[in-house]
Each structure stands twice: as structure tokens, then as C-alpha cells.
């Protein structure tokens, strides 16, 4: 029986073990996986494109900080496909070496997005300076290895356990309704979006009156639910913008007709992926921005 056992799924994440991306990967694929830690998001995408990883876990938005800048552009630029989504409850802990007390902490490091989620905490502790580093879990790992000049890190309870740190204060994020949404990306499109399919798109419309209205009207006329819309500047084309949208609908039914009409109206249309909609706001006490 052992000889027929499938090898574990290989998943690239930005950051280190114990990050919220790590927990998002386990939430989607279970604990039996092999992580490919990556220092940057470009390195994460490259691990997927080069097939060193079967999947990549990419944070795309947070309920407090908004979009994780550039990651939707990265999905498009690297020509990978969103094949699944998940949402992770972000509980941020102030973590230090054993014996350190809150009053002695003068610097606390974490990923910039995590720091954005702790404005109220830093206002209450003006003596403490936030320090931006590349990863939540990495801030705790480096602190405990002695390779950091700061006094504390901000990350998950899981990271504190993995690296032998001590939690000084729990749940320091601004709002408990703090969730990060992740895409699982692959070089191949997803095969089964299930009974509640969701599709992510990117499109560009002409700079003329009514162009966006006409583009969005393709969804409204067919009763296709547009659940998200945001614009991002197009690199190398000043004052031009690309729209990213999420829609619910059958990709072989009304949505297919929408996309056909949209392609006739827009300068460009890209389908980033069709995947099963995550059924609800996932609870995770250890779950990276």
C-alpha cells in the first residue's frame, strides 16, 4: 500500500513556516503538504511557473488593509490560473523572547500589511516603533535566532510555537473582523468549480464616456452577480487602469455569454480563473498576509 501513496502536494508561499499563508495552504489542502518558502511574491510565482511547486498561495485582499498591492497583477503577469480560494481569520500576536515584558519593547517588526492592521495598538503604545520586514513568521524566526535588531515580532500563535517565542499580547489587530483572502494558483486552469462557481477577471475599457457602464451592463442584463470590482494602474501606461472583477455564475451559461459580449466592448479581457467559492468566513487562529 505504501508504494501507491501519492507524494505530498508542493505549495509555494511568500514567507516562512508559521505564516498565515502556511495556514491558508493547510486550510485548503490539509497538513500533508510540502512548503516552498519564498522571500518575495515574484519568487512564489516563479516557483509555480517553473513547476518547483504544484500550487502557490497568494494573498489578494484583506478586510482591514484592502488589496494586497500587486498580487492580482502578478497572477496576470505570470499567466497562472486561480484554481481555489480561501479566507483566513488573522489574529496578530505581539511576540518576544521569553521573559520580555511589554513595557520594555521599543521596536516591533512584521510584514507591512500586518503593521497596517495594528494602527490602534501602536497609537496606544507611542513608545513602540513599527519595523517593516518581509514576513510575519520571518520576523519571529529572525528574532529568536538572534539575527534581528528589533525587540519583538508580530505574527501568528503558530509561529510563536514553531520558533519557541513567547506571546506578550494577543489579538492586537485593529478589528476582529480581520480576514485575508487567498488564491491558490497553478499553471493549469481548475477542472471542477463545483456547484457555486466563481470567476475572477481582468479587463480594460476605452477612455470614453459610458465605456465602463456598458461593460458592467453585460453582467446586470443577465443577472450575473458582480461581487467585487477594483481598478489598478497599468504599468508603463500612465493614467490608464485595468479593472479586476469577481463574478458568480455558470461559466458555461450566462457568464459565458457575458464574457463574449464583454470581449466585444473592452480593449482586453483576461479570465484569471474559475474556482469553487469559499463557503464562508473561515475561522483560523493561526492562519499571512
Q: Which residues are catalytic?
A: 180, 182
What cell numbers appear for 106 in the block? Answer: 521599543
What is the Cα–Cα distance from 58 to 230, expressed in whole angstroms? Answer: 17
Cell match 453582467: residue? 219
What is the Cα–Cα distance from 224 to 201, expressed in whole angstroms? Answer: 13
What is the Cα–Cα distance from 200 to 40, expressed in whole angstroms? Answer: 23
Where would I find the beta strands (DSSP E) of 7-54?
9-14, 33-38
What cell numbers appear for 158 in the block? Answer: 503558530
Of residues 244, 217, 249, 245, the one with CA closest to residue 233: 244
Q: How many CA atoms lie within 13 A of 24 on its CB side?
A: 33
- The sheet carrying 129-132 orders its strands as 129-132, 107-110, 152-155, 93-96, 166-169
3-state secondary structure of 13: strand
Distances (CA, A) of 205 to 156, 237, 251, 266: 41, 14, 22, 5
Phi, psi of 179, deg, nearest 5: -125, 145
Amino acid at each position: 500500500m505504501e508504494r501507491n501513496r501519492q507524494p505530498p502536494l508542493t505549495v509555494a508561499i511568500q514567507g516562512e513556516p508559521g505564516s498565515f499563508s502556511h495556514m491558508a495552504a493547510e486550510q485548503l489542502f490539509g497538513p500533508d503538504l510540502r512548503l516552498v518558502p519564498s522571500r518575495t511574491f515574484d519568487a512564489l510565482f516563479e516557483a509555480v511557473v517553473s513547476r518547483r511547486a504544484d500550487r502557490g498561495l497568494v494573498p489578494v485582499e484583506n478586510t482591514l488593509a484592502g488589496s494586497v498591492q500587486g498580487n492580482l497583477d502578478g497572477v496576470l503577469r505570470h499567466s497562472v490560473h486561480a484554481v481555489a480560494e480561501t479566507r483566513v481569520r488573522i489574529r496578530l500576536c505581539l511576540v518576544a523572547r521569553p521573559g520580555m515584558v511589554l513595557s520594555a519593547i521599543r521596536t516591533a517588526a512584521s510584514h507591512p500589511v500586518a503593521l497596517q492592521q495594528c494602527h490602534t495598538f501602536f497609537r496606544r503604545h507611542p513608545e513602540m516603533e513599527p519595523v517593516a520586514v518581509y514576513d510575519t513568521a520571518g520576523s519571529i524566526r529572525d528574532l529568536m535566532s538572534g539575527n534581528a535588531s528589533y525587540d519583538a515580532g508580530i505574527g501568528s500563535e503558530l509561529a510563536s510555537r514553531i520558533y519557541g517565542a513567547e506571546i506578550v499580547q494577543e489579538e492586537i489587530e485593529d478589528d476582529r473582523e480581520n480576514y485575508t483572502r487567498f488564491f491558490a494558483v497553478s499553471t493549469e486552469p481548475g477542472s471542477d468549480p463545483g456547484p457555486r462557481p466563481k470567476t475572477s477577471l481582468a479587463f480594460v475599457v476605452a477612455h470614453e464616456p459610458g465605456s465602463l457602464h456598458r461593460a458592467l451592463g453585460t453582467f446586470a442584463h443577465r443577472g450575473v452577480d458582480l461581487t467585487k470590482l477594483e481598478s489598478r494602474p497599468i504599468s508603463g501606461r500612465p493614467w490608464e487602469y485595468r479593472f479586476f472583477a469577481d463574478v458568480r455564475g455558470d461559466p458555461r451559461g450566462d457568464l459565458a455569454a457575458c464574457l463574449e459580449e464583454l470581449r466585444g466592448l473592452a480593449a482586453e479581457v483576461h479570465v484569471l480563473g474559475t474556482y469553487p467559492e469559499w463557503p464562508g468566513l473561515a475561522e483560523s487562529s493561526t492562519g499571512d498576509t
